[in-house]
Structures are given as structure tokens and as C-alpha cells.
Amino acid sequence: MKVKMMQVGPIATNCYILEDEQAHAAAIIDPGDEADRILSVMEGEDVSVEYILLTHGHYDHTTAVPQLHEAYPQAKIYIHHADSYGAGSRLFPLASQVEGLLTYDEGDRLTLGELTIEVLHTPGHSKGSVTLRVGDVLFTGDTLFSGSCGRTDLAGGSYEEILASLKRLGELEGNFHVLPGHEGTSNLDQERKFNPYMREAMAH
């Protein structure tokens, strides 16, 4: 398994390229902007893009999807059904931009070569926020950040729900690499010890 991270767009969204090197297969996670730059990086990779996966539906995580969909029409685009609405919405624009969106939900599994991508529904930042678990890696989107968590004051946000989601992540067995939707990476042990939001969540 190989993961590349690049920060895209005006608020530096973390876009990840997940690869199974043996199968030469890739998933692009949260292509938030700068499609040309993402495509340029992909040209240097000897892989077939099988998926475009979204941790939630906010525009800063989905802006590059239409252009990537044109470049990789074979790639399946997944989003949680609770964030797949919003035609004409500035916050959730994807439904009006791309046809053929697929939806995933809690417990769903996708296969990428020999890798298994497991979907954990972790609402709070939005109703349809998910965390993607692959091996010892968590792609947490805007649910869990290094030392913080996503804002809950936007449409569909809930502080109570994000605390429940943080508690769930904190109770996972093992020390996972945490690859969030913004800013730097972390690991779950670090977040259990020092993240005030996760500590609050796990105290309940």
C-alpha cells in the first residue's frame, strides 16, 4: 500500500492517492480542487484509477471531481447517501455536477487490488461524513484533525454527533495512522492523549 498526499485549493484540503502497488490500482480520496495538478501527479503513476472516494460532500473536498470524472470515466465515485443531495447548493454542489454517483454506508467494503477499504459512518461535521479504514490507516476527512475536529456549525453539523464519532474512533483497537482532511497527519494514540475533543468524547 502506498499513499500520496497533496494539498489543494484555497483552504488546503488534503487530497490522497491510495495505491495497491501490486495491482497497479488507485483510489483518489477527496479531490477538493486543482484537478489539473492531480491529473499531472497521476500521470507519473503507473496505475488504473478505480475509485474517487469522498469523505463528505462539501465543495472543498469535491471541486475537482467533475474534471477527474471526465479523465477517468471508469472510476466509480462514492459518497455517503446523506451528503449526495444538494443540487444547486453551494456547500454540497456535487449532485448537480456529476451523474452516476454511487453511495456507501456504514460497514460497506470496497476492494482495491489486495486492499480492503472499509466505510465507517462518522457524522458530525456533516450528516454524511465517513472515515475510510484501510489497513492501519484512517482517512478521517473533517471528522478528526490533528489536535482538533471539524466544525459543526454548517448545514447538517452536530457537536453531539461529532463527539460520538470521535468516541467511536478513539475506541478502535490499535494505533492507526490518522490522515485528515486538512493540516498535518497524526496517529490515534497521539489523539487519544492530547486532542481535547477526543478526550471529551471518550470521557462520556
What's the CATH number where 108 sits? Answer: 3.60.15.10
Nearest CA to 29 out of 116, 141, 122, 137 is that of: 141
Whether 100 and 132 have beta carbons less than 8 Å apart is answered as no
149 pairs with which residues across the strands? 144
Q: What's the chain's average pLDDT?
A: 96
Using the predicted structure, report yes or no on whether residue 180 has a pLDDT greater than 90: yes
pLDDT at 189 (0 to 100):
98
Q: Which pLDDT tens digit goes with each residue over 7-38?
A: 999 999 999 999 999 999 999 999 999 999 99
CA distance linking residue 190 with residue 186, whole number of Å: 7
**Helix, strand, coil proportions of the chain in percent (round to 5)?**
25, 30, 40
> What pLDDT was estimated at residue 108?
98
Domain that holds residue 171: 2-203
Helix (H, G, I), strand (E, B) or coil at 62: helix
CA separation, residue 113 to residues 18, 26, 39, 118 (Å): 11, 9, 21, 14
What number is the average pLDDT over the span 186-200?
98
For the record, the C-alpha cell of 143 comes out as 471528522
Q: How many domains does the chain have?
A: 1
Predicted confidence (pLDDT) at residue 87 exceeds the cutoff of 60: no
Question: Within 13 A of 16's CA, how many CA atoms are on the CB side?
Answer: 25
Reduced to 3 states, what is the DSSP secondary structure of residue 8?
strand
Residue 86, pLDDT score: 67
Q: What is the pLDDT of residue 128?
A: 96
How high is the pLDDT of residue 99? Answer: 86
Check: pTM over 0.95? Answer yes or no: yes
pLDDT of res. 96: 83
pLDDT at 89: 82
Q: What pLDDT score does 85 carry?
A: 77
- CB 47: neighbour CB atoms within 10 A? 19
Query: Cell numbers 472499509 correspond to what residue?
Result: 118
